[in-house]
């Protein structure tokens, strides 16, 4: 039985689905404004996702642009069988993997060196603890494979279900579960060593 909160979430998801699907349909008709709106809506989410997968600051914007170019070129292939976000993150995942292959898979620029605009805090204990936790999390995520980081990001930060992740990663759902299991196991070891 759905609760009121569940219905609100479903309603919000439905509105987002309709809005994004409408933008993609407008992109099919070469509507540049629709592409700009979709780009603005997804930029920060794509930035975070791609950053976690490739761990290369110098490639993130290039990959985002590649993703949006594919959206522009292939908008007519979106068949509304999945959420628009799943389709877009599927493109992003493939482009991120391609970028890693093209760059030789080396993590030369760590995200620990990036300026994080979202970490604006007062000079107090709470802010320092948040910074320490963020640094620890970034270091821990560095120890995971790109596929494991992608599963963590898509599950916990983008709110996708395993079935959606499996679809966009083009692998069985059990593979996603296995990647999550191994990622959690590695993170647990790191957490135990950190304490």
Asked if CATH classification 1.10.1740.10 holds for the domain at 4-194, the reply, yes or no, is yes
Given this model, what pLDDT does residue 143 score?
Answer: 86
pLDDT under 70 in the chain at which residues?
A: 1-13, 105-136, 194-195
Given this model, what pLDDT does residue 11 score?
Answer: 57
Given this model, what pLDDT does residue 109 score?
Answer: 40
Indicate the domain borders of the chain.
4-194
Given this model, what pLDDT does residue 14 score?
Answer: 77
List Cβ neighbours of 109 (8 Å cut-off, separation of 6 or more). 55, 56, 57, 58
Q: What is the mean pLDDT of the chain?
A: 79
d(CA 93, CA 87): 10
Given this model, what pLDDT does residue 12 score?
Answer: 60
Given this model, what pLDDT does residue 81 score?
Answer: 83
Contact 138, 132 (CB under 8 A): no
> What's the distance, CA 136 to chain centroid?
19
| Nearest alpha carbon to residue 139 among 46, 52, 19 | 52
| 148 backbone φψ class: left, alpha, beta (φ>0; ψ -120 to 50) | alpha
List Cβ neighbours of 123 (8 Å cut-off, separation of 6 or more). none
Contact 42, 24 (CB under 8 A): no
Place of tokens 């950190």: 194
């Amino acid at each position: 039985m759905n609760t009121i909160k569940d219905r609100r979430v479903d309603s919000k998801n439905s509105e987002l689905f309709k809005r994004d699907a409408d933008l993609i349909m407008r992109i099919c008709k070469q509507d540049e404004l629709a592409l700009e709106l979709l780009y603005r809506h997804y930029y920060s989410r794509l930035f975070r996702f791609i950053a976690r997968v490739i761990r290369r600051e110098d490639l993130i914007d290039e990959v985002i642009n590649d993703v949006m170019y594919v959206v522009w070129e292939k908008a007519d292939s979106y068949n509304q069988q999945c959420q628009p976000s799943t389709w877009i993150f599927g493109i992003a995942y493939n482009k991120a993997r391609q970028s890693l292959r093209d760059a030789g898979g080396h993590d030369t620029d760590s995200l620990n060196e990036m300026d994080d605009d979202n970490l604006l805090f007062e000079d107090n204990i709470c802010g320092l603890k948040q910074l320490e936790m963020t640094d620890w999390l970034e270091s821990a995520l560095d120890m995971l494979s790109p596929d494991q980081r992608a599963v963590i990001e898509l599950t916990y930060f983008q709110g996708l279900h395993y079935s959606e992740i499996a679809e966009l990663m083009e692998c069985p759902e059990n593979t996603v579960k296995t990647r999550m299991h191994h990622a959690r196991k590695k993170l647990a070891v790191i957490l135990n060593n950190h304490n």
